[in-house]
Amino acid sequence: MILRIDRHQMELPPPSTPDPAGAAVVQELMGGKFGEMSTFMNYTFQSFNFRLRQGARPFYDLVANIAAEEFGHIELVATTINTMLTGAGEKGDLPKPADMLNPQQFIAGGAAALCQDSNGKPWNGDYITSTGDLVEDLVHNFFLETGARNNKLKVYEMCDHPAARALTGYLLVRGGVHQVAYARAVERLTGADLMKLFPSPRIPTDKIPESKPHLEAGLHTKLYRFSPSDYQEVAAVFNGPHPETGDELVVEDQPPEGFPPFDLPAQEGVFAPDYAPEEISEIARKLRVAAGLPDEPTGVVANNGSGNGSVVDKVKDAVS
């Protein structure tokens, strides 16, 4: 089972100019064959289906633990898309059909992320490979991370919205760590040296400005343990030098500290969360009080309040 922590693994920028076409392209990182739904679900199912866990404990722990980090990645991709769409769902101001690539972000969603790829095709369970054969699954995972890195690099190039850039800059670093982890696991089991493939694709992350701060913070060498008690044997696999930088690989015995998310403003034009959201807020306040909770919301968010005024004001609030 899981515990959920209402923090992001990285700090995403607040909403700025809406970019519906760009947000449609970022969908590839959510629901594409090499998107984060795929990494999350591949490792999750592999961990569920893992036989002989005790016997193969370091490998089970590795797969199960990386699965946990990937949940945080689908969260980040969704938030990025939502951020890029904020302002495009304002009352009376929806984008024109000719200016969008994915109309369902507005019709099926409330100016929001979908579980689809950049061509509007839903993610599906066929994107999961979970053969049960440990070496095969690990080689697969290495390749999956390689494909994911390829896709992120391209989305980085195609989308210049600050949220898309921040997202891909971060995910490239974390995906790189997972590539290394799976390469190392394959090496431990077979002796095959996948480390020589790095970086793959052959663009060093330090060329990406948005990756830089994360590299400087050493995030490219750290595998976080996303569990209060379990998956301790990741350290039996994830060690030795990083194939690109030579820095020692490190297991961090806890998750990253995390950042409170921006509370993205209502988009009344698409009824999210309502055509007249202030009524909901008032009901919420009353319920809170009736239940003996504080008058003010107890959640921690990055911005101050989430007023229902104009977009400009909302964004200003968001960035202040």
Q: Which is nearer to its own copies, 111 or 215 (CB)?
A: 111
Instruction: Tell me how far apart the alpha carbons of residues 272 and 224 are, in angstroms, rounded to a whole number.
Output: 35
Q: Which is nearer to its own copies, 109 or 169 (CB)?
A: 109
Tell me how crowded residue 187 is: count the other CB atoms within 10 A of its CB.
16
Instruction: Tell me how far apart the alpha carbons of residues 255 and 243 are, in angstroms, rounded to a whole number.
Output: 23
What's the min distance (Å) between Cβ of 36 and its own copies? 11
What's the min distance (Å) between Cβ of 246 and its own copies? 17
User: Rounded to 5 degrees, what are φ and ψ at 147?
Assistant: -65, -40
Q: Which is nearer to its own copies, 216 or 280 (CB)?
A: 280
Is omega for the bond preceding 294 within 30 degrees of 0, making it cis? no
Q: In angstroms, what is the C-alpha Rg of the chain?
A: 21
What's the min distance (Å) between Cβ of 320 and its own copies? 15
Q: Which is nearer to its own copies, 64 or 215 (CB)?
A: 64
What's the min distance (Å) between Cβ of 218 and its own copies? 19
Q: What angle, 0 to 180 degrees and rounded to 10, lies between the N-to-C axes of helices 134-158 and 162-190? A: 160
Is omega for the bond preceding 201 within 30 degrees of 0, making it cis? yes
Query: 94 with 270: CB under 8 angstroms?
Result: yes
Q: Which is nearer to its own copies, 218 or 280 (CB)?
A: 280
What's the min distance (Å) between Cβ of 223 and its own copies? 13
What's the min distance (Å) between Cβ of 207 and its own copies? 10
Tokens of 1: 């089972």
Specify the 3-state DSSP secondary structure of 248: strand
Q: Which is nearer to its own copies, 3 or 209 (CB)?
A: 3
